[in-house]
Amino acid sequence: MNMNMPVAAFTLKQKSLTPLTAGLMSIAGATLTSPSLNLGSPGSLARTVVAGVYFYVGGGGANITSATIGGIAATVQVTAINGNLRLAIISAVVPTGTAATVIVNLSLTGAAEAYYVSYLLTGYGANYAGNFNTSGVTWVESMTMNTPLNGCVIVAYLPVIPSGSITSCSFGVPLTKDLDFQFSSLSGRISGASAVNTPLAAGASFSANAAGGAGSPQSLICGTSWN
């Protein structure tokens, strides 16, 4: 029996990308906190929690000073800035525990709103590339980013105007819009999209087309790829 084929097939199947949840973060002073995320039981493979975090602080905006996921120091992979709006993707390797909370500390108090999207990566290595783009008045947002062979892509998108949401997206391979959260009819929303088994590409193009709505959108988009 050729033992190489079963082993190779099993190795490929060990990598997985799981959308977790999207929702509202609580605000206390300069600290934003997500609800508890269900990670399931840890196994032998590396577990990375990736979160897209949006927040709005008036008076010049604010920046992330530190963050943790499941008590582990998180890395800010990329941040998009549009006026006082911020959209960042952060991540941390969380090897133990069945649940984790995303906690983000800001440089200023007074956040008016904060949302998140979250994903669990199993068996993936380090962050490969990241990029962002912002636009003042548009429903279409695009960017380019390097992608690794057989890696994955995670994108967070903020159309701000409530009636806007991702209607189609692509990134060398089609992305699936798998997370979407709208706080109220008077506020913005956040969407998450992902793809696995990405092609090896330098500057692969991503575009998000959102449904139009009243007013002028202030869209932001962040993306990361993982190998």
Backbone angles phi, psi at 9, to 5 degrees: -65, -40
Q: What is the pLDDT of residues 100-141, one digit of tens each?
A: 999 999 999 999 889 999 999 999 988 998 888 876 556 667
pLDDT at 13: 52
Do residues 22 and 73 lie in contact, with contact meaning Cβ atoms separated by under 8 Å?
no
Return the SS3 of 73.
Answer: strand
What are 169-184's pLDDT values in tens digits?
A: 555 566 788 888 877 6
Nearest to 22 by CA among 163, 159, 158, 181: 181
- The string of DSSP codes covering the chain is ---HHHHHHHHHHH-EEEEEEEEEPEEETTEEEPPPEE-----SS-EEEEEEEEEEETTT---EEEEEETTEEPEEEEEEEETTEEEEEEEEE--S-SEE-EEEEESSS-EEEEEEEEEEEES--SEEEEEEEEESS-SEEEEEEEE-TT-EEEEEEE--STT--EEEEEESEE-EEEEEEE--TTS-EEEEEEEES---EEEEEEEEEE---SS---EEEEEEEE-
Handedness of CA 80, 82, 86, 87 (dihedral sign): negative
Number of domains observed in the structure of the chain: 1
Q: Which of 98-102, 154-158, 162-166, 194-198 has the lowest mean pLDDT?
A: 162-166
Phi, psi torsion values for 112, nearest 5 degrees: -90, -30
Residue range 6-30: average pLDDT?
77
Distance, CA of 166 to CA of 208 (rounded, Å) = 6
CA atoms 32, 186, 86, 23: torsion sign: positive
Tens of pLDDT, residue by residue over 41-97, are 998 889 999 999 999 898 778 999 999 999 999 999 999 888 888 999 999 999 999
Q: Which residues pair with 169 in a beta bridge?
A: 208
In the predicted structure, residue 6 carries a pLDDT above the cut 50: no
Residue 34 domain boundaries: 4-226
